[in-house]
Chain A
């Protein structure tokens, strides 16, 4: 029941539902279509932080707001050298129409075949709905998850958690460089 508990706000902040990959775990590798004729691999993004934003579906109002918000925050993400990637179980043509309509300037990956395969490996697939959770992962340049978060499904998680995680990553890197 951890999912239902966290959605009801019963789980204290910072506690992940069971099965969700936590900080410190290597991010599972994947390759997914980004457009009808191009794919993107997590490995291609090595060396810089990656923000994986799993969301349930294109077009649903909250997702729209969440992806639209991240679209506005891109310059801020880029200041950290971070690459944002959206992932849902929608197909490439659906993503293409959604991205064009909302003028999104970051890739949306289609976790479509096998359905939700990547979401399952990150522990954020919802069997009943056939979609992913609304989940965020910040991965460092070495491919290790540094922060993960599952939002109540109907609630746009905003960008503050991501920015805090990127701050922590930047602080760690500069401390590492100084020592």
Chain B
């Protein structure tokens, strides 16, 4: 239980070198307040770890609880198709209080995603990928959001910068 399946692959959205000694995977929901809390923490961790860390985001929208989470994920996947995933990801977490459709359309214009493309995303163009992320998360033991995996193992510890850095540095040291 609680090992990442499938492993990180070419379909994933990643930041940092593919051969970094540590890969941190987040299963997240754009409307989840705990993911919103984790967002600046993970940014700080990435800045501190530099090239020793690859960060990967996978979708785990809890759409029954969060009415905007599904659309937000569709928006981010559409942004990925034009090479702007991380801008979309960051925008969503920085403006978590405004994820209604009008806001998503405004964000799309900010990153150069045209209306027709966003409409296609809302009609389900990327839903297969989102479902695949979600289903892989379930199989990997994701039990809520955010759930983090460090080099493929679920991390259940505290999510503050220092605790995460300690764990990530230890994982990096193991690989050397």
Contact = CB atoms under 8 A, between A and B. Distances in A.
Contacts of B139: 160, 163
Contact of B62 (A72, A76, A158, A160): A72
A157 B62 contact: no
Contact of A102 (B2, B65, B135): B65
Nearest to B5: A160
Interface stretch (A24-32, A44-52, A62-70, A82-90): A62-70
Contacts of A105: 64
Interface string B1-30: 110000000000000000000000000000
Interface residues of B, number: 16
Given A13-B1, A76-B135, A156 B64 contact: no
B142 interface: yes
B40 interface: no
B143 A73 contact: no
Contacts of A65: 143-144
Among A72, A105, A155, A159: residue with most chain B CB under 10 A: A72
Interface string B125-145: 000000000110011111110
Given A76-B138, A158-B138, A163-B138, A103 B143 contact: no
Contacts of A117: none
A66 B64 contact: no
B141 to A, nearest CB: 5
B63 A72 contact: yes
B174 interface: no
Query: 10 tightest CB-CB pairs across the interface, nearest first?
Result: A158-B143, A156-B143, A65-B144, A160-B141, A158-B141, A159-B138, A71-B64, A68-B65, A72-B62, A103-B64
Given A69-B143, A76-B135, 10 more contacts: A68-B65, A71-B65, A72-B62, A72-B64, A72-B134, A103-B64, A156-B144, A157-B143, A159-B143, A163-B138
6 contacts: A65-B143, A69-B62, A102-B65, A157-B143, A159-B143, A160-B139
